[in-house]
Structure 1
């Protein structure tokens, strides 16, 4: 079952909702076979074992909103041949490849939940249903406990309130900035360290059990 975030005209109206916290709960231990699969797959990802990671994927693994998917697309993403990139991006191939592996490893290590179909999704905050009126590109999840919301973008600035596992809105995300200006669901505004903000359109992954009872990686995708 998904959690529904209750917001009232958050971006354009005077009324705001109470703040809601979604503490992390990992449901993986409901199925020991899933725990074993995840641990093994994470070890292979950490080792950057391309063949083993591809072998763990569904025949129709979903990897993008515009691609064909499948194990060969996953392999191509993991290898990231510079010749497949535009001339402007080829010099960034090593950094892009490293980022893809890092995103996969980090996502698979997050707490997750079982959906109504028995699929296991990570991270667990993916079960939060945002209101239709909210642009998901503006929504971020605060991943820490008692993260400081500060009066200004400075680690020594006064603390307005601690934030734990809730949605924050960022109208103008600043790439590379240490702090972001955020809006909480009750209308409180301030600055939060970027390290604790996960985009709600960021990477998520799903494990699905096959007809013969084997777990497989069937989704690894980002975007709305």
Structure 2
């Protein structure tokens, strides 16, 4: 089933045109009960930090990085982050770095997803949306929620100037430490939104594939363009 994408043309003035791109947040996983069962079990294994179980649930050649070797050895190194993989300057941050990877894996697999054919399932659902050519993928974010507040100031007390649902916005200056990010809406408005509700178009995404033996596996977990 193809991803449902709604695109509305908005005319701004007489010459500037923008597109409001919204993605249906409906999770298609329920179409295949075996997929639902697989994902639930894998999420339980991730929550338990069960490295062996997570590796067993992944493809032998799982794709994990652009230019990397992939496979179980690379996946193991990301999940366990052994000492030899960390330089001295980051050694004090090892536990946090390791936990961040597990957290991103769990967060990604909990996102609504969509099928690409009958044997491939992608998460989050936003990943399969086609971005307008005029939008820089690294500045593109989707609002991951219904009626998420757009505020005039970068804090929870800022005046609410609108709300957005599952639509494409841009962030020209990303600050990892900021709770609220300044966003630009396709209709020309700008404001601040809580970072928890913004999903990067080039952020982590994952894909399950069903093998010839009808078994689901985690075969892609990657970030970047």
TM-score (norm 1): 0.91
Q: Match of 2:104? A: 103
Higher strand share: 2
Q: CA deviation at 1:206?
A: 0.5
Partner of 1:89: 90
Query: Which structure 2 residues correspond to residues 154-165 of structure 1 after superposition, within 5 A?
Result: 154-165=155-166
Unpaired segments ≥5 residues, structure 2? 10-14
Task: Using the TM superposition, give the Cα deviation of residue 211 of structure 1 relative to its aligned residue in structure 2, in angstroms.
Answer: 1.2
Deviation at 1:154, TM superposition (A): 2.8
The answer to whether the Cα contact below 8 Å between 1:27 and 1:114 also exists between their aligned partners in 2 is yes
- Answer whether contact 2:141 2:169 (CA < 8 A) is retained: yes
Label 1:5 to 1:73 Cα distance change in 2 as closer, same or farther (>3 A).
farther
CA distance in 2, matches of 1:83, 1:181: 39
Per-residue deviation, 1:191: 1.0
Q: CA deviation at 1:6?
A: 5.4
- Structure 1 gaps of 5+ residues are 9-13
Mapped pair 1:166 → 2:167: yes
- Superposed CA offset, 1:137-187 (max 9, x none): 101111121111111223222211111111110000122112111101111
Deviations 1:89-124 (A, max 9, x none): 222111110000001111111111101363000111
Query: Contact (CA 8 Å) 1:4, 1:130: kept in 2 or not?
Result: no
Aligned-pair RMSD on alpha carbons? 1.8
TM-score by length of 2: 0.91
The number of equivalent residue pairs is 219
Q: In the aligned structure 2, how far is the partner of 1:126 from the partner of 1:7? A: 19
